[in-house]
Amino acid sequence: MPYPLHEINAAIRTDPKGFAEACDAAFAKKVDAAARKIADHRGASHVILLSGPSGSGKTTTAMKIEEVLERMGIVTHTISMDNYFNTIDPETAPRNREGAIDYESPFCLDIDLLNRHFAMLDRGETIHVPKYEFSRQMRSDILSQPLRLGPDELAIFEGIHALNDIIVGKNPKAFKLYIAARSNYTSGEGEVLFQHPWLRLCRRIVRDYKFRGSDASFTLKMWPNVRRGEKLYISPYKENADLMFDSSLACEVSVLKPYVVPLLEALPAGKYAVVDDMLRAFEPFEVLEERYIAPDSLVREFIGGSAYSY
């Protein structure tokens, strides 16, 4: 669904608080609909596979779906598939065309263990969810946590490769959810003014700065490889989804603007073509101040101040 710029700016000028609340309410409506579809499916499988590209808001969306399911009386556990990364072995790790370790590859995951755990959960057996220690680039079985699902419990496995054929093929009955920011921001005549891939990039730039202290060049240097991984390993499998979820909010460009623009302007002029394009695209958007953004809004995953931890 495109978001017309003139409607966004008019809403910010007249009722910024109400506009922010309406955006969150529209997102909550989509979360409720997804949770109900998942609840209706639980007779077929206790496992939900949730995928989406970087910056799609998977973490917050998974938590919000879990909250709705819990209110429905369905105990739900959300597990990051990052915990199933293999301990990095330079001799066996997948490589990209340049010969570097391909951290975007699904073969960095222990696919056999994942598929075995999915089957065990559906049989009511106990699994031990491993813990991946990113600081040491190794998986720890000592820090693993036991998990056994009751008759009416669910487990959401969230990760960029959750819908890959090598997982879905072994778990056809699992509910499959694809999350991405899928809407563009347009003029009144339908011209695209701000592309949805830019929204995800801006989310990442702000989050990397807020939570890692990294400047925009850090994110921009990684972004081509991230996008390459998406095109190879994520986007081709989105059609496996039972439900596609648009995680964009109409207010986001206006919220992100005061965070992103200074970070982009600090970069050397002309170094990144996409930066010049995004700076021009930001110009006509009114700013929606952070004070209007609720603590549990999806936008908080990227700008901070959320009830959730990242």
Residue 244: what are its φ and ψ, rounded to 5°? Answer: -105, 130
For residue 105, give both structure tokens.
């590859």
- Please give the helix or strand (H or E) that residue 222 lies within, else none: helix 216-229
Q: What pLDDT shows up at residue 306?
A: 65
Residue 274 falls inside a structural domain = yes
**Residue 309, in any domain of the structure:** no
Per-residue pLDDT at 82: 92
| The predicted structure's pLDDT at residue 106 | 86
So what's the pLDDT on residue 308? 55
* Token digits of residue 161: 């490769």
Q: Where is 77: in which H helix or E strand?
A: strand 76-80
Within a domain: 48: yes
What would the DSSP string read from start to end of 7-38?
A: HHHHHHHH-HHHHHHHHHHHHHHHHHHHHHHH
Q: What pLDDT score does 309 carry? A: 46
User: In whole angstroms, what is the distance from residue 41 CA to residue 44 CA?
Assistant: 6
Q: Of 165, 294, 301, whose CA–CA distance to 233 is shortest? A: 165
Number of domains composing the chain:
1
| Structural domain includes residue 16 | yes
List Cβ neighbours of 14 (8 Å cut-off, separation of 6 or more).
none
Element holding 162 (H helix, E strand): none
Q: Which residue range is the domain that position 14 belongs to?
A: 3-303
Read off the pLDDT of residues 92-107 as tens digits, 9 standing for 90 and up: 778 877 778 788 888 8
Global pTM value: 0.89
DSSP state, 268? Answer: P
Q: Which residues of the chain have pLDDT under 70?
A: 306-310
d(CA 111, CA 258): 41
310 located within any domain: no
CATH number at residue 290: 3.40.50.300
Is 30 inside a domain boundary?
yes
Residue 308 lies in a domain: no
> Does residue 71 lie within any of the structural domains?
yes
Q: State residue 90's pLDDT score.
A: 78
